[in-house]
Structure 1
Amino acid sequence: MAGDEVAHLLGSLERMRATFRWKADGLDADGLRTRVGASALTLGSLLKHLALVEDLYSTVNLDGSSPGLPWTEVDWEAAPDWPFSSAADDPPAELYALHDAAVDRARGRYARALSAGGLDQAVAVSDDAGEHPSLRRMLHDVLEEYARHVGHADLLREAVDGRVGEDPPDDWRPGGAQEA
């Protein structure tokens, strides 16, 4: 409630991660493939997309390292929307595991970076003019990505089974997929 800037930034990111994961939790393949209106978004595609965001920001953007598999096997020029278009083919357990593992890896990478240089350090990614944002800015970008998709997840989950709410219950822990 009264932490420093790092605690508040990471706390906000953790809240968005938890809220998103709760909105996506415990669904079978049909639930993860549910669409609303004309949108092609699904909770499954958002799980995969946010796994990419976690790995991409905590590697390529943070320090220039490789995001690893499965991201390095994708032909991004041929399939720029691959996380969204391929998720429907993935078993629910794989989507949950992919997202959860990416979040765990990112937490560790950010913790190491923060202890090594704090929020003001420049990260590897740069804009067209060669300017490098700070780790602070990059973490805000990850937080913003989650905030946007938590809104999508609200609508999608309500369409699946009526689950609504702002935060997961205090005793909630990520589960995974329901049996089909």
Structure 2
Amino acid sequence: MDDDAAKTVLLRYLTNAREALLWKLEGLPEYDARRPLTATGTNLLGLVKHLACVEAGYLGNCMGRPFPEPMVWDDPGAGDDDDLWVRADESRDDVLGLYARATAHADATVAALPLDAVGEVAWWSEERRHPTLHTLLVHVLAEVARHAGHADVLREGVDGVAGVRRDDGNLTRDGEEDRAAYREQVERAAAAFR
């Protein structure tokens, strides 16, 4: 497979994961988009902010194409997890806009460089510190898909919305009754091991 064909496939999967992540915010009130939904503080809008940093970093800065805006890591007073939550003075539009600009910058990097272009990830171990664009693109794809999965589970816990996309729930159970019956079936099987 040539570079262009490989890029097309990788970017298609990355775009799908990005869209799945963003869909999980649609229709949510501000509080539910921002509030911690796990004991560790994971929240939906924070996942988007984090992934803006991931894409700008790995598919921008690490490939010698610095993201043109200040990021969380540029603030000397920033805490270790400040990319994982959204301050009260940051709007949803601010975060979604940042993500749109970061993904456009990442896509421009992929378009501009060959997959075998070598970058530098200063915080990775010495033997891994100089990965190719291909490696970083796969790394970012895995990261976005992982967090889109987190967002899927979190959103289902908030209001029951589930599935890959608005137009493709990819769920085999339709309706509350069918889902409740399925959940009960799974619970009965698990209860055999109490």
TM-score for both structures, normalised by structure 2: 0.73
Partner of 1:143: 141
Partner of 1:57: 58
Partner of 1:91: 91
CA distance in 2, matches of 1:163, 1:144: 23
Shift of 1:66: 5.2
Partner of 1:13: 14
Partner of 1:159: 157
Secondary structure, aligned partner of 1:133: coil
Secondary structure, aligned partner of 1:84: coil
Equivalences, count: 162
Partner of 2:49: 48
Amino acid at match of 1:94: D
The CA deviation string for residues 104-153 of structure 1, in whole angstroms up to 9 with x for no partner, is 2221222112xxxx212212335443651111100000001111101110
Secondary structure, aligned partner of 1:40: coil
Change (3 A) 1:70 1:26: farther
Q: Which runs of 5+ in 2 are unaligned?
A: 169-194
Partner of 2:76: 75
For the 8 Å contact 1:47–1:99, the answer to whether it is kept is yes
Q: Percent identity?
A: 31
Deviates more, 1:128-137 or 1:147-156: 128-137
Change (3 A) 1:34 1:156: farther
For the 8 Å contact 1:34–1:156, the answer to whether it is kept is no
Amino acid at match of 2:110: Y
Secondary structure, aligned partner of 1:41: coil
Shift of 1:65: 3.0
Partner of 1:120: 116
For the 8 Å contact 1:58–1:106, the answer to whether it is kept is yes
Q: Which has the higher contact order (CA 8 A, sep 6+)?
A: 1
CA distance in 2, matches of 1:51, 1:66: 10
Secondary structure, aligned partner of 1:107: helix
Structure number, greater radius of gyration? 2
CA distance in 1, matches of 2:96, 2:133: 27
For the 8 Å contact 1:22–1:168, the answer to whether it is kept is yes
Partner of 2:40: 39
CA distance in 2, matches of 1:160, 1:65: 36
TM-score for both structures, normalised by structure 1: 0.78
Change (3 A) 1:38 1:72: closer
